[in-house]
Amino acid sequence: MSIARHWRRRHNLYRLIGTRCRSCGRTFYPQAQRCIYCGSSDVEQARIDGEARLLSYSIVYSVTDEARYEAPVILGLVEVGGVKLITEITDASPGELEVGMRLEPVLRKVSIHGESGLIYYAVKFRPAMGGDGSGED
């Protein structure tokens, strides 16, 4: 991705911005020009926030060369404010994760552009700080 394109998309990359359908009322992520549920094009941007919970996760051991320093990669099915999304779980080992635990969004490095040296960041999730994540703080 070029530096200019990355700059134009920074709000969507650094925040959880999804799409809300005005026809059926459902919200989903990532953004799309049509509702993934009813097909309507009457959609608007919607910030996704609220409590995040881990619904399921998978551990990926076979990764690209660029991600080798992060292996294994943990992908999680996370529910945030009623919206389900698949995202990377960071700052945790597989043994620390439990289905149902609270998570929080964080910005983390994704890659470095070879020619420009631009560091790309994106929203990932980690176990919530300040408790065991069970919601019983």
44 and 8 together in one domain: yes
114 and 90 together in one domain: yes
Q: What is the reported pLDDT for 130?
A: 67
Q: What is the reported pLDDT for 65?
A: 74
Please count the structural domains in the chain. Answer: 2
Q: What is the reported pLDDT for 8?
A: 72
Given a contact cutoff of 8 angstroms between Cβ atoms, the answer to whether 76 and 41 are in contact is: no
Residue 31 lies in domain: 1-48
Residue 135 lies in a domain: no
Q: Which residues contact 87 (CB under 8 A, 6 or more apart)?
A: 75, 76, 78, 123, 124, 125
Low-confidence residues of the chain, pLDDT below 70? 1-3, 6, 10-13, 66-69, 130-137
Residue 3 lies in a domain: yes
Number of helices (H) and strands (E) in the chain: give both, helices first: 2, 8
Query: How far, in whole angstroms, is CA 31 from its chain's centroid?
Result: 12
Q: What is the reported pLDDT for 1?
A: 59
Average pLDDT score over the chain:
85
In the chain, the N- to C-terminal Cα span, in Å, equals: 42
